[in-house]
Amino acid sequence: MHRALASYASAGSSTEADELIMKYAPAIDRVARRIVSRTGLQSAFDDLWSAGALGLVEAARRFDAGRGVSFETFVEHRIRGAMLDELRKTDWTPRSVHRKLREVSEVVRQIENETGADATDAEVIRRLGIDAQEYHQILADAASARLLSLSAPEDDEDGAALDVADQEGLGPQDRFEQEGMRGALVEAIGGLPEREQLVMSLYYEQELNLKEIGAVLGVTESRVCQIHGQALIRLRARMTGWREQGAAADSSKARKLKSTG
C-alpha cells in the first residue's frame, strides 16, 4: 500500500513532507492492525488504512518542529485520530444495541443518584426487569462496541470513542470544552470500582487485550468483557450527569447575560 500512499504525497507537498510520509508509512499498518485486533473489525482494515494515510499526509504537512513535540509522537496521534474518526462515521453497532446501552446507563445513573453508591449488578437487573443472562449480553455489547458514547446527547445514535477529540482542529471555545470533558472523564474513571479501574487502565493505557487482562486478574476472558462493559456503562452514566451540569451552567450564564443586557 506504500505505492498508493505515494499518490497522497504528490501534489502540493514539500520534499521534506514527502520524506516524512514515506518514512512513517509503516505506522499506518501498525495502528490499523492494533485497532482491528481490539475491535475485531477485520473487514474495516482497508478503510482504516486509507483514513490513516490521509492522517499521515496531513500530519506531515502541518507539523511544526518549533512546538517542541516530536514528529513520531505527533504522527501516531494524527493517524489514530483519523482512524477513530472513520470508525465513528461508519458505526457498525445496531441502533437496538445503542438503545439498550442508553437504557442501562440511565438506570445506573438513577440508582447512583438515589443511593450515592456504585450501582450493583443485582440492583440494575432488578430495576430493568431482566434476567442475568440478558444483562451480561448487554455488558458484552457495550464492551464489543467500544465506541460507546460517553458525552453525546441521549438522542445521538452515533458512537464516540473514549478518546477526547484531536484538539489541533478545534477553536478556543471547543478546545476549552474538550479540556473540561477530559478532566471530567479522568475524574469519572478515578471514581470507578477498583476492578473496573484496573481493567480500564490495562486495556486503554497498557493496551493489553481481554485474554491478557484475564490472566492478570485470574478470571475468564468473558468475565473481563463484562467488567469492561460495566465500566463503560457506568462512565456513560456519570458523563451524562457532567454534560447536564454543563448545560445547566450555560443556561444560567445566558440568563444572567440577558438580564444585564
Structure confidence by residue, pLDDT tens digits, 112-139: 999 999 999 999 999 999 999 999 999 9
End-to-end CA gap in the chain? 59
Q: What tens digit of pLDDT does each residue of 142-169 get?
A: 876 654 444 344 444 433 334 444 444 4
- Contact call for residues 166 and 178 (beta carbons, < 8 A): no
Domain 95-260 part of CATH 1.20.140:
yes
CA 232 to chain centre: 10
User: Which one is predicted more confidently, 105 or 17?
Assistant: 105
Q: Where are the domains of the chain?
A: 2-89, 95-260
Q: Would you state the pLDDT for residue 184?
A: 77
CA distance 70 to 155: 40
**Range 2-89: architecture per CATH:** Orthogonal Bundle (1.10)
Look at residue 250 and tell me whether its pLDDT is greater than 50.
no
Q: What is the pLDDT of residue 112?
A: 94
pLDDT of residue 165: 40
Whether the CB-CB separation of 52 and 32 falls below 8 Å is answered with yes
